[in-house]
Amino acid sequence: MFPRWQRLVTSEEIRHILARGKKLRGKYLQLSYWLRSEQDQLSGSRLFGPRFTVVVGLKQAKKAVERNRLKRRYRALAAKHQARWPQRADLVLLPYKEALTADFADLEKDYLTLLPQ
């Protein structure tokens, strides 16, 4: 599990990134990201390093078991490839329905092609 400072936890932060951030779309995932500046302090505290969250809605997976499975898979990818994230990035991962039936290797390939440089 990621420490709290590496997670986007408030709905305000997530909405901000979804509304104003850049969106990259792959086969299994939409990645929305926002690159923070020195002055950009959404939470009012000093922010260090990249932060992320995975959002899976009822449209993507009807059952809680499926939603949790998608979250676990994308959290594992995030942990594995965390060093590739830009230091001031806030990332929101929005998996598509197709991710439910995809192999982990396919999800990883798609995820890596979308990561901001």
Q: Which residues contact 61 (CB under 8 A, 6 or more apart)?
A: 67, 69, 70, 97, 100
60 vs 2, 66, 71, 100, CA distance in Å? 24, 9, 12, 9
Tokens of 28: 């299994």
Mean pLDDT over the full length of the chain: 86
Q: Rounded mean pLDDT of 1-14? A: 81
pLDDT, position 46: 55
pLDDT tier at 109, thresholds 50, 70, 90: very high
User: Is 22 in contact with 32 (CB distance < 8 Å)?
Assistant: yes
**List of domains in the chain:** 4-114 (3.30.230.10)
pLDDT digits (tens, 9 = 90+) for 8-52: 888 998 999 999 999 999 999 999 998 887 655 555 555 677 888
Q: How far is 67 from 57, CA to CA, in rounded Å? A: 7
